[in-house]
């Protein structure tokens, strides 16, 4: 346990090296929140987009900051800095677990001002609700850290890591309820299916554009959005901070989905990081 704490301390020192950059990012996130409140409330059917987007922004900040650990590990692997870590009196498993947990805790630290802003502008949750929110977000942060580390040790160049990170960002951000309700994704998938089916009938493209293939692909996106841990994290905050009329109701499945995501990717990251250390 002491060795894991040393690893966490090491990663937090690296994190605070960018403290002014991080402060700037948090300020930019808060500015995004208020700008979005002014602009998108007039453009969407959501009565108060500010209230809807505030919990989503907290999750976006959590995701981005927890993912930063992967960039650092990828750089360490490419520059062989990790040889120093191997010389420390700890096992490879302790080192791997420490990196995963550190990434998650750094995400929680970055997200704290954004979450406090939610409490100020929306409402303060009860103590049990607060504990449940923090537990869910901690699990989410550890899972995201695991995804980032898994990608970092599986790519041999920074360009490949950035490309993989971009794909993950787009899939998890835009196929979730962070920016818009799940109902929007469901409605758009239905409309897009009708359009693509007409397109397929007129142009007769290959099989992968057939109605069955198109329908299956769009159904997958809807299901992915529903189980997406970012969706569950954002909707859990909304269920406690927004009125019932918002349509966000807490479900134990939200916590279960995030917990499963966290356990799977924390294990994958630990295993992948250990294998990388063994190769070197």
Please, what is the Cα angle at 169 between 63 and 195, to 5 degrees?
Answer: 135
Question: pLDDT tens-digit profile of 26-79?
Answer: 887 777 777 776 777 666 666 677 888 889 889 999 998 898 888 888 888 777
Q: Helix, strand, or coil here: 214?
A: helix
Q: Residue 82's pLDDT is what?
A: 67
Q: Which residues contact 4 (CB under 8 A, 6 or more apart)?
A: 90, 94, 97, 98, 101
Specify if 202 maps to a domain: no
Note whether residue 184 is domain-resident: no
pTM for the model stands at 0.84
CA angle 135, 51, 245 (to 5 degrees): 90
More reliable by pLDDT, 223 or 138 = 138
Say how many domains are in the chain.
1
What is the residue whose two structure tokens read 């979005």?
Answer: 36
- Answer yes or no: is 210 within a domain: no
* Digit-coded pLDDT (tens) for 125-140: 999 999 999 999 999 9
Q: Does any domain span residue 90? A: yes
Distances from the Cα of 190 to the Cα of 67, 172, 185, 214, 216, angstroms: 33, 20, 9, 11, 12
The answer to the question of residue 183 being in a domain is no
For 39, phi then psi, to 5°, come to: -80, -55
Residue ranges making up the domain that contains 151: 2-177+228-279
Say if 207 falls within a structural domain. Answer: no
**Is 200 among the domain residues?**
no
């Amino acid at each position: 346990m002491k060795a894991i704490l040393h690893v966490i301390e090491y990663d937090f020192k690296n994190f605070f090296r960018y403290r002014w950059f991080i402060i700037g990012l948090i300020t930019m996130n808060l500015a995004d929140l208020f700008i979005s409140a002014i602009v998108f409330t007039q453009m969407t059917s959501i009565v108060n987009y500010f209230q809807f987007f505030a919990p989503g922004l907290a999750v976006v900040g959590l995701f981005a900051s927890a993912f930063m650990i992967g960039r650092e590990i990828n750089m360490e692997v490419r520059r062989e800095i990790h040889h120093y870590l191997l010389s420390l009196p700890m096992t490879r498993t302790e080192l791997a677990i420490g990196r995963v947990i550190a990434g998650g805790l750094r995400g929680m630290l970055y997200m704290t001002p954004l979450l406090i802003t939610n409490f100020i502008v929306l409402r303060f949750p009860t103590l049990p609700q607060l504990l449940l929110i923090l537990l869910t977000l901690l699990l989410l942060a550890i899972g995201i850290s695991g995804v980032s580390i898994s990608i970092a040790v599986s790519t041999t160049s920074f360009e490949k890591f950035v490309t993989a990170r971009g794909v993950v960002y787009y899939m998890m951000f835009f196929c979730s309820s962070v920016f818009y309700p799940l109902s929007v994704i469901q409605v758009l998938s239905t409309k897009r299916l009708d359009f693509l089916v007409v397109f397929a009938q007129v142009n007769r493209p290959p099989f992968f554009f057939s109605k069955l293939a198109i329908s299956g692909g769009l159904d997958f996106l809807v299901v992915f959005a529903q189980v997406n841990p970012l969706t569950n994290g954002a909707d859990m905050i909304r269920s406690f901070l927004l009125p019932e009329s918002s349509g966000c109701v807490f479900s134990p499945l939200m916590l279960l989905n995030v917990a499963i995501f966290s356990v799977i990717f924390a294990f994958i990251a630990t295993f992948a990081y250990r294998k990388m250390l063994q190769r070197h």
